[in-house]
Amino acid sequence: MYEYIKGTLTFVGPAYIVIENGGIGYQLLIANPFRFSSKLNQEVQVYVYQAVREDAITLFGFKDFSEKQLYLKLISVSGIGSKSSLAILASDDHEGLVAAIENDDVAYLTKFPGVGKKTASQIVLDLKGKLDDLTVSSSAGKGALQEKLVLTTNNGHIAETVEALTALGYSSREIKRIEPKLIALNEHSTDAYLRAALRLLMKK
């Protein structure tokens, strides 16, 4: 029903952002909400997908059209739900994801929360050869952690990162394993810590 929403970004949290348009605040569930932190109180355009169920109507948000299309491909796979799809997209390594699917790299796919060997194999079975029409991009390893955001203090950033990881489905054990490495970093935004945390989790 909706392609995108354009409006003022009024809130960024661990699991979602809020965009105000026409006096209405739209709650959008996002894979990594903190990558929008630099746009707080500014006009943004976010691609959306509306999921309608018996007990809820939910809006999912995406940074661009390609990410939305990749999300739609993922939720079409048997055993992959909305939460698992967001967790997969949160790493921002979309090129790596597509390469893993095309190369039958089940081990890579099982590193995401909620994705076991059976589900990973199903992802490969359903999507291999069907992602050629996507123009994906990855910010991993391209200076994304150096992005200057409006947040200027480290206070609370790691706590927000832990909240975001929990919302994505990572377990307390997985988070505690990388927490010392996060504390050793000297980043200046939750987005930076979250990106670093996701890279560390993918190395397990």
In whole angstroms, what is the distance from residue 61 CA to residue 3 CA? 10
Q: Note the pLDDT of residue 3.
A: 94
Cα-to-chain-centroid distance, residue 5: 18
Q: At what angle do helices 190-202 and 172-184 cross, to 10 degrees?
A: 120
Q: Are strands 24-30 and 57-62 parallel, antiparallel or unpaired?
A: parallel
Q: Within 13 Å and on the Cβ side, how many CA atoms surround 185?
A: 24
Angle at 44 between CA 15 and CA 160, to 5 degrees: 25
Contact in structure between 103 and 53 (CB atoms under 8 Å): no
What does R_g of the chain's alpha carbons equal in angstroms? 17
Q: Give pLDDT < 70 ranges for the chain.
A: 133-155, 204
Q: Name the amino acid, one letter, at 65.
A: F
In whole angstroms, what is the distance from residue 196 CA to residue 178 CA? 10
Q: Note the pLDDT of residue 204.
A: 59
Q: Which backbone phi and psi does 189 adopt, to 5 degrees?
A: -160, 155
Q: Of 37, 31, 38, which is closest to residue 16 (Cα–Cα)?
A: 31
pLDDT tens digits, 2-44? 899 999 999 999 999 999 999 999 999 999 999 999 999 999 9
73 three-class SS: helix
Q: Note the pLDDT of residue 133.
A: 65
**For the residues of 109-161, what is the DSSP string, one character each?**
HTTSTT--HHHHHHHHHHHTTS-TT----B-TTTTGGG---S----TTHHHHH
**Exposed, middle or buried: residue 38 (CB in 10 Å: 0-12, 13-18, 19+)?**
middle
